[in-house]
Copies of this chain bind each other. A is one copy, B any other.
């Protein structure tokens, strides 16, 4: 196959005509497919049915010297803090265990920065004229949206295969209005990159002008390999402390993609000073999170070792799904030379950069043919991908046969959108 950009105008026209005819065939099928959502599929949900019967008696609720059914213990059951400490290789005193959503915790911490300030803030962020936040992109739209809903200015930082471009980050943090950075250090959303040790070291040793600069370290995929064994990660809490930045980071994790997606347990880990500070603020917000679900989840997951065994079962379901999409991309798109993508070994996404200026068009074509993709642009601040090229592919929900159809449709749309663009650039 010839690269698209090397084709003559005549070849391109023929290519477009063929793509159009393939597209018509796709449309005629009246498909209803969805590769937009980074959530577990039905098979994965069924993996964890046992969790529903792991906690059934009143006696089991007597743990850690309390009755898990009653009110209280705002930072979570000690056994739950211990579980997360094991999972993240931090100390249990550095863990605050909460409810079913790590996003909720992230939002609440940012919200408190606005209403109360962070531990080292001079004043609450709501009292400042300007607050800026660094957004390595492509990144997770819900992170960016949390900052945006509080009126924060979002600063795009390019992602590299090693993580955020640190040359740029080191410059940007000299601005005292820059209050933090969103990070997904392992299997970054959507690229699936793992931050390199060097990048993590440079992040941990940053010298930001803002005394309350905060890393929102979303370790969402900390044990979420679908291909190969568990990959250890640097303990960001210790790493920051090593450089005198002990209070600079909040790390987040949850069991949402380990146990029950909408009914898992979430936590944040940070310095003991930060835990104490947040605890003092959160004590006004709630008497305590759902300790019964903390207990249920820990009884089921037990510890990191057993959690990794469960992740192997998720991997067995996810790996063929990712392979299916990659196979189509390798066969249909790679030889044409206009798009690039990384083959991740964990996480929930494939990030594809198609021909500049064609991502929106490709997604619109897909939608018209019955395939829902994450909106093009969603992976950038304000939903605005300056090169209009990034598409996030989420292969976890559809069964393999649907996924084949979806990947086929996507490839056709990518090709058609690219051919259209190249011909229109030529002022055909």
Report yes or no: B290 in contact with A100, Cβ–Cβ below 8 A.
yes
Report yes or no: A285 in contact with B107, Cβ–Cβ below 8 A.
yes
Enumerate A280-316 residues with CB–CB distance to B below 8 Å. 281, 284-293
In whole angstroms, how far apart are the Cα atoms of A81 and B416 in the complex? 46
Which interface residue of A46, A67, A256 has the most chain B CB atoms within 10 A?
A67
In whole angstroms, how far apart are the Cα atoms of A126 and B123 in the complex? 12
Shortest A54–chain B CB gap in Å is 10
How many subunits of this chain does the assembly comprise?
Answer: 2
Whether A111 sits at the interface, judged by CB under 8 Å, is yes
Q: Which residues of B contact A69 (CB under 8 A)?
A: 45, 260-263
Which interface residue of A57, A103, A145 has the most chain B CB atoms within 10 A?
A103
Chain A, 24-66, contact with B by CB distance < 8 Å: what is the 0/1 string? 0000000000000101101001100100110111100100000
Shortest A98–chain B CB gap in Å is 10
Chain A residues with a Cβ closer than 8 Å to the other chain, count: 55
Whether A427 sits at the interface, judged by CB under 8 Å, is no
CB < 8 Å neighbour of A115 from B40, B57, B114: B114
Q: Which residue of B lies closest to A38 (CB)?
A: B71
Q: Which residues of B contact A284 (CB under 8 A)?
A: 107, 142, 145-146, 149
In whole angstroms, how far apart are the Cα atoms of A256 and B290 in the complex? 11
Q: Which residue of B lies closest to A48 (CB)?
A: B69
Report yes or no: A115 in contact with B150, Cβ–Cβ below 8 A.
yes
In whole angstroms, how far apart are the Cα atoms of A39 and B69 in the complex? 11
